[in-house]
Structure 1
């Protein structure tokens, strides 16, 4: 059976992706910083491994333990809900270490085995805020925009060896799950001059948004991995699809 490695499986999108591929008969390597065996039902096709994408040693160990994989999903990420003035540079660098450099490091380690077999798929989970700019997400959006550019250029390099690289762009996620992994959490450390604006904006967003579900993202990743002719960028969730159309991007 084909095998997939998914990063950031402790909750949300990553957990749903792992569940989807297991249900479809794939061998799944679900990785997370602190392994939790009770998150997914026991299955002979499931392997749960510790992985910190900001650690080269952790990446090498996890990939070695995983064995040959047919698909890599770089889903691990952190959020930052804050205006630029409220964001500490140290925290900004931490965010880029996970969202951008972590995905690059994972891909760099996995690519040689895929190149040798002349097959494989790499899916990077980005965000539709790179299509529709939103306030209080400037740093987070910048990290995901960098991931987009990386993936689109990578796709050209990887195609030389029969490897596909795709992007999945979720829409708005419920703020509770986003906040658990946020470097700057909602309502915290927002500079006073921006406070009322950010509060009012988030209130309006929550009241009028059909949030993207983990299942939406898992479905989009399934398409990216299993459909050879899937678009390079796949929006996940009704709101993401709307934003794509508004920006003039086709939604297939």
Structure 2
């Protein structure tokens, strides 16, 4: 029976992906900063572990407790929206600590055990913003674009030791909440000079039909894990698929 560790499973795509893999009969290690066991069914095949991907000690403890892994899904992430001019660099660094360095640290932590067995899959969840960058999310987009480049390069070197790397690029869904999981308000990042433009952009975002469902992402991660080809990118959701077709 195979085992998957998924980061950021307290809500949204991570939560649905954990539930989906469990329904397929896998052992699931669902991780989040503050464990909530009530999100999942009681099962001998599902464990909920604390994990902060920005904390090396937390990463080491979670990976050790998880045991042998067949798949790592790097899903944990934070969003941010606002004018870059008004975004403190400390806030930019916090975004990168989770979205970029957290992914790298988790990946580095599991490679040795996978390499020793000569098998394993690492799935990095990014965003359709990497396919068509949008305004007012520059630091977030940059943090996800960094993982796109990281994954493309890493895929080559890990293929040499029998491992696969995948990118899943979700579109915009109902659970996409920019800055909802950060310590700074969106409006704090919109100076008066950008107010008119930002109002138009946010209004347009609000009028969009959100076509990416949580199940789309879970099923795409499943597809990516089970595809034995050398494919790297998998768009998830109708809007992401459409963007990928013209990218």
Q: TM-score, normalising length from structure 2?
A: 0.96
Match of 1:115 in 2: 115
Q: CA deviation at 1:71?
A: 0.1
C-alpha separation between the residues in 2 aligned to 1:137 and 1:180? 14
> After the TM superposition, which of the residue ranges 138-147 and 220-229 deviates more from structure 2?
220-229
C-alpha separation between the residues in 1 aligned to 2:232 and 2:157? 14
> After the TM superposition, which of the residue ranges 226-235 and 80-89 deviates more from structure 2?
226-235
Q: Which ranges in structure 1 are unaligned for 5 or more consecutive residues?
A: 248-252
> After the TM superposition, which of the residue ranges 176-185 and 30-39 deviates more from structure 2?
176-185
Q: Give yes or no for contact 2:216–2:237 (8 Å, CA) kept in 1.
A: yes
Match of 2:231 in 1: 231
Residues 1:163 and 2:163 aligned together: yes
* Other structure's SS at 2:189 match: coil
Root mean square deviation, CA, Å: 1.4
Q: Give yes or no for contact 1:79–1:183 (8 Å, CA) kept in 2.
A: no
Deviations 1:124-154 (A, max 9, x none): 0001111101000111100000010001111
Q: Give yes or no for contact 2:79–2:177 (8 Å, CA) kept in 1.
A: no
C-alpha separation between the residues in 2 aligned to 1:133 and 1:204? 15
Match of 2:94 in 1: 94
C-alpha separation between the residues in 2 aligned to 1:185 and 1:118? 45
Q: Give yes or no for contact 1:54–1:102 (8 Å, CA) kept in 2.
A: yes
Match of 1:145 in 2: 145
Q: Which ranges in structure 2 are unaligned for 5 or more consecutive residues?
A: none
Q: TM-score, normalising length from structure 1?
A: 0.94
Match of 1:199 in 2: 199
* Other structure's SS at 2:20 match: helix
C-alpha separation between the residues in 2 aligned to 1:11 and 1:74? 14
Q: Give yes or no for contact 1:120–1:164 (8 Å, CA) kept in 2.
A: yes
Q: Give yes or no for contact 1:223–1:230 (8 Å, CA) kept in 2.
A: no
